[in-house]
Amino acid sequence: MTFRLTPLSLTLLEAEDLSKAFGGVQAIRQVSFTLSQGEILGLIGPNGSGKTTLFNLISGLLKPDTGKIRFSGKDITAMAPYKICRSGIARTFQLVKPFNQLSPLKNVMVGRAYGSEPARNTRQTRIEAEEILALTGLANRWVPVAGMLSLIDRKRLEIARALATKPKLLLLDEMFAGLNTAEMEDAIRLIKRIRDSGITLIVVEHVMKVIMGISDRVIVLNVGEKIAEGTPQEVASNRQVIEAYLGKSSQYARD
């Protein structure tokens, strides 16, 4: 069962009329949405629809051509990525790139030394890094260096490194790609544990079973524009979404 918002839910993130072009290509066109504290928001759309670009705008890797982004009521539109991280937004990347020659523990300790509320000393850094490894299911993965981890464990480590910055909002970018069914189920449980710990999430994902199963609300992008927004059930029955992305043969397109 997914978390359901109440009328008293607080707005954590606001995106207003965001646009971003690369040369003559409009990657994002006047996209607006809000995100409530404690919510899991799914973000879907065909390849090239602008999902990762939107993440790059929120995390500060890119600046919008037009529009505003507010986080906890503060305008972060022109803020540097490290300042956005320190304000409480963390993200993962599609291609995970841990420090391969460092242990998983030291990878996470690096994150605890920066971000929001950095640890005060090495002892605190290590203790909190160990707690994060336990949360993400890596506590018993005894390998000397991160480069020896399996794909699913490298993805868990990517999440752990993001969690080490103490985010209020976590952006997950296609963390289920390449996983088998059992690994997906483990990853779904992990996302729910993260939400239950008090962290709000936006999840970009192509695996519809995952996105429809964990999201409170779903936004659909197509060629840079928001074409639908609503509950998973509402989005799955939206004819424009079916034609642009799901396809008529999808189980999620059936009445």
Judge if 249 and 173 occupy the same domain.
yes
**What's the rounded Cα separation, in Å, for the pair 103 and 119?**
19
> Are residues 46 and 141 located together in one domain of the fold?
no
**Phi, psi of 233, rounded to the nearest 5 degrees:** -65, -40
- The domain that holds 65 is classified in CATH as 3.40.50.300
**Residues pairing with 221 in the sheet:** 226
Examine the pLDDT at 151 and tell me if it is beyond 50. Answer: yes
Host domain of residue 247: 10-88+169-178+201-255
- For residues 61 and 57, what is the distance between their CA atoms, to the nearest angstrom? 6
Residue 243 and residue 248: Cα distance in Å, rounded? 7
- Asked whether residue 173 falls in the same domain as residue 245, the answer is yes
Mean of all residue pLDDT scores within the chain: 89
Asked if pLDDT for residue 202 goes beyond 90, the answer is yes
Are 133 and 152 members of one domain?
Answer: yes
Q: How many domains does the chain have?
A: 2
Please indicate, yes or no, if residue 23 is contained in any of the structural domains.
yes
Considering the domain boundaries, does residue 136 fall inside one?
yes
Task: Report yes or no on 233 lying in a domain.
Answer: yes
In a domain, 1, yes or no: no
**173 and 68 in a common domain:** yes
Q: Is pLDDT at 251 greater than 80 in this prediction?
A: no
What pLDDT score does 3 carry?
A: 42
Q: Provide the pLDDT for residue 1.
A: 38
Distance CA 7, CA 238 (A): 25
- pLDDT at residue 2, as a whole number: 44
Do residues 117 and 46 share a domain? Answer: no
In a domain, 227, yes or no: yes
Examine the domain organization and report whether 66 and 173 are in the same domain: yes
Rounded distance between C-alpha atoms, residue 98 and residue 155, angstroms: 9
Of 59-63, 192-196, 241-245, the least confident: 241-245
Are residues 72 and 17 both part of a single domain?
A: yes
Q: Tell me, yes or no, whether 160 and 120 share the same domain.
A: yes
**Residues 5-53: pLDDT tens digits?**
444 469 999 999 999 999 989 999 999 999 999 999 999 999 899 999 9
pLDDT at 160: 96
Is residue 20 one of the residues assigned to a domain?
yes
Are both 147 and 244 inside the same structural domain? no
Q: Are 37 and 150 within one domain?
A: no
187 found inside a domain: no
- 116 and 234 inside one domain: no
Query: Is 79 domain-assigned?
Result: yes
59-77: per-residue pLDDT in tens?
999 999 999 999 999 999 9
